[in-house]
Structure 1
Amino acid sequence: MRYRNLGASGLVVSEIGYGNWLTHDTEHAADCVRAAVDEGVTLFNTAAAWDRGAAEESLARGLKGAHRDSIVLSTGVYWPEDDGTTQGGLSRKSVFASLHGSLRRLGTDHIDLYHLLRYDYQTPLEETFVALSDLVRQGKVHYVATSEWTAEQIQQAAPLAEKHRVPLVGNQPQYSMLWRVPESQVIPACERLGIGQLAAVSLAQGVLAGRYADGNFPADSRVAAGGDLARALIWPLLHEELLTRVEPLRGVARHCGLTMAQLALAWVLQNPLVGTVVVGATRPEQVRENAGASGVTLDLDTLGQIDQLLGTFVQTDPRLTFTPPQYRDIDPAAL
C-alpha cells in the first residue's frame, strides 16, 4: 500500500480507502474491514445517517482491536439520522448532535476527518464553521472535508475555514473513468486552496469492475447485497451500449496485469490531486483485489485506449455537481 498527503495538509492517507455505505450489513462486513487493515488501508469512511447509524456501528465492530492512532476515521453529517426527530442539515444544533452520536456509535473520542456531506442552503455557512471551530478546539474533530460541493461553494467555505481555524483539507466527489465532472472546476479550485480529493463511486457501482457485463446482478454482488437502494442507483448505468463499451476494458486490464477493478481504481489514482479512492467490498477477496491498485502507473497509451473505448459515455459537465435546496429533506435511504 502506498500513502499520500491529503491536499496540502499533513494528514497522510492510504491510496485505497475503505467505505461501507452499501456494504455495512453484508455477511462479511467485519471480515472486509479487518482485511482492509491487514492490507495497509488507513482511511475508513462511513456516515451517521447511513442506515440510521448502523453503518457506523458496523465499522466500529470491524475495527475492534485495531490501533486507533494508526487509522484515519472518517464520518459525516447532513441528513436526519432517525425517524424525523433530528433536524439534519449543517446547523450548529445538527452538527453537535450528529457528531456526538457518531462518537458514541464508533466508540471513539474524536473523528479524524469530518465530512459535510452536502451543502446546506438553509443554514448560514459561518454558523457551520463556528460550530466546527468549537469541535476542533475541543479535540473532537481533527480535520474537515466537504462532499459533492461545487467549486463556488468550496471557495465560499475556504476563507471561513481559515478565519475560524478549521482545517478544511479534503473534498469527496464522485470521480471515475465515466464520471469526470469534478475535473474542470472542483478539482482545480481545490488545488488552489490546498484541498485534496477523496474519490468515491470510482467503480461506478461495480460496472467498471465488469460485474454486470450481461446486465444481470450476480448473487454475491454489491447490488444484490444492497437490495432495492443499490439496484436503484445502478439501474441508469445498465445501458446496453455502455456495458458493451466497458467490456473491452477487460482486455486493457489484462494487458496491464490488472483486474478491471484495479484498472478503474488505478485510473483515478493517476490524478496526483487525489489523496485516496474510497471503495467498499462485500468479500475480503475484493478488499485485497482493490488494494492491488495502489502504486500502479498507467502509461499514456493505456489512458488513451480507455478514453477511446468509453467515448461519449464519459460525463464532464460541471453542472452535474449540484445539491438541490431541499436535499436535506430527502431520506438518504431513498437515494
Structure 2
Amino acid sequence: MNPDSSILYIKDLEVDYPSRDGNGRVAAVKGLDLELSQGEIGCLLGSSGCGKSSVLRAICGFEPVKTGEIFLRNKLTGSSKIHTPTNQRRVGMVFQDFALFPHLTALENIAFGIHGLPPAKRDLLAKDWLSRVSLADKANAYPHELSGGQQQRVALARAMAPEPDLILLDEPFSSLDVDLRERLASEMRDILKANNITALLVTHDQHEAFAIADKIGVMKDGKVVQWDAPYELYHKPSTRYVADFIGRGVFIKGTVESNRKIAIELGELDLDGALGNQVGDEVDVLLREDDIQHDDDSPILAEVISKTFRGADFLYTLKLSSGIDVYALVPSHHNHAINEKIGIRLAADHVITFKR
C-alpha cells in the first residue's frame, strides 16, 4: 500500500463513539487498512453494526479519527492530530435517501453543488452531467416527478459535478425496490467507469457489491476480514466467516484421503491444491447452491424440504440421508414436490475447506 499512488489511502484506522451508558467509549472501526487507485470502485460489505458507515463518516470528516491516518490524493486529511474540514476534502457524497431538494428541478439540484462559476457556465455544466447520466430530458422535472432510479442518478450527478477526488455512496440502493437494485448498481458502475471516478460504497447486500465493485472488503466487528476482488471472495475466501457470508452454502464434514481427495457424504472431491491438510484430517467443506446438480440417474438421493421458484430455476433445500440440509439450483422444468426424493451429484469446481 502506497499513499503516493492512491486516491484514497487508509492506514490502521480506529474510530470510536461514547458508550450508551456513558461509561467510556466503544470502538466502531479497528485497525482498518484500505487503498483505492484512480477510477477504482471499492465496497465495504457487512451486516448492520459492523462499522462500514463509520468508515465513510471518518473519510468525509463527519467523525474524528482516534488513531491511524486517512490520505486523500496524497494529502493527510484525517488523523488523531489533523482534521481537515469536510468542505475542503474534495469528497462527494450520495446518501441513502438521495437528499435532493424537493423545491428544485433536477438541473437546479445538480447546479446547486457547483461553486465558483458564473451562473451560465454552472448551468451548462449541470446540463452536461444530466446528459452523462442519461437524464437530459428531465432537466425541468422535480424530484417527486422522477422514479427512484432517476432520483438516484440525479444525486450521483450532483455529487460528481464538482469533480471531487472521491465519491462516497452510503447504502445508495436501500430505498429502492429489490428487483431494481442490481440493475441500477450495474448502471451506476457504468457511469462511474465512463467518467473515471474513484468511489467507495457501503452496503449489506452482496449482490449490489458484486454488481458495482472492483474490490470488496468484508467487514466484521469493525475490521476488514478480507479485501479482494469479488471472484476471489467467492472462490477463495480467506476465513470461515467470509466463506459463510458470501454466497449461500453449508459446511459438510469431510476427511482427507491419501489420493489428494476429500471424502464427503456425497462422494469425493479433489483437494484443489489446498495447503496444510494431512491424510486423515477432518475438514469442513463448503458446498454452495451451484456445487450440487440434479441428476435423475444418480444413486444419491435427497429429500426436497423447501423450494423457491426463480423463473429459470428453483432453489431447492434438500435433506441428505445424514440429516444435513444442502442447497441446489435446479432448472425450473424439474418441478418436484415437497418431501419427494430426487437424484443429485457433486459438481464442485472450487473446493473450499477449513479444518474442523
Whether the TM-score (by the shorter chain) exceeds 0.5 is no
Interval of TM-score (by shorter of Structure 1 and Structure 2): 0.3 to 0.5
Query: What's the TM-score once normalised by structure 1's chain length?
Result: 0.36
Normalized per residue, the structure richer in helix is: 1
Normalized per residue, the structure richer in strand is: 2
Query: What's the TM-score once normalised by structure 2's chain length?
Result: 0.34
